[in-house]
Amino acid sequence: MQHFSKVSSSTSTENLPVNAAINPEMDSSLALALTAIRAADDRKGGDITLLRVTEVSLLADYFVIVTGYSKAQVRAIVNAIADRVEEEVQRAPLHTEGMAEASWVLQDYGDVIVHVLMPHEREFYDLEAFWGHAERVAFQPMLEPVKALS
C-alpha cells in the first residue's frame, strides 16, 4: 500500500497511519466529497466518480464527477449538494460556475471540486481520462455509516 504525503490541503499526515488518506474521519476533504456524493445520489445523479487528485494537482484534493440527465436535474443536484454540504459540513462553495447553462456546473469548495455534467458534456470533456493519472476512489464502502463496536 502506498503512503500518501498529503491528505488534504490543511492536514499533515506526519503521524497518520498509511490508510488515513482514505479515511473520512481523518480527512475533512474526503468527508466533504462523500457528503456531496450522498446529495448527488439522493437526486439520482448518475455515474458518480470520485478522483483523488492530491498527488497530481494543486487545484484540489478531490474531484467529484456526476452526470445529470436534464438541465433541471443538473441544477437540482447542484442545489442539493450545496444545501447538504452547508448543513452537514458548514461550508458553502467558494465559487459556482455554469448554473445559467446547466450543461456543466462546477462547484469549487477549495479542497473539493464538484463537476455536474450533462451526458454529452461528460463524454466530450472526459474528465476521467484527462485526470487519468489521478487515483479513483472506491467510495461506496465509505458511504455506509461506521457502526461502533459494542
Residue 3 falls inside a structural domain: no
pTM of the model: 0.79
CA 49 vs CA 21, 87, 100, 102: distances in Å: 17, 23, 24, 19
Encode pLDDT of 37-85 as tens digits.
Answer: 999 999 999 999 999 988 888 889 999 999 999 999 999 999 999 999 9
Number of domains in the chain: 1
Residue 148 falls inside a structural domain: no
User: What is the structure's pLDDT at 50?
Assistant: 95
Residue 2 falls inside a structural domain: no
Residue 150 falls inside a structural domain: no
Read off the CATH number of the domain in which 45 is found. Answer: 3.30.460.10
Write down the residue that cell numbers 462547484 correspond to: 107
Residue 147 falls inside a structural domain: no
pLDDT at 141 over 60: yes
Confidence of residue 23 (pLDDT cuts 50, 70, 90): low
**Strand runs labelled E in the chain:** 46-52, 62-67, 95-97, 104-108, 112-117, 135-136
Residue 4 falls inside a structural domain: no
Domain housing 34: 19-139
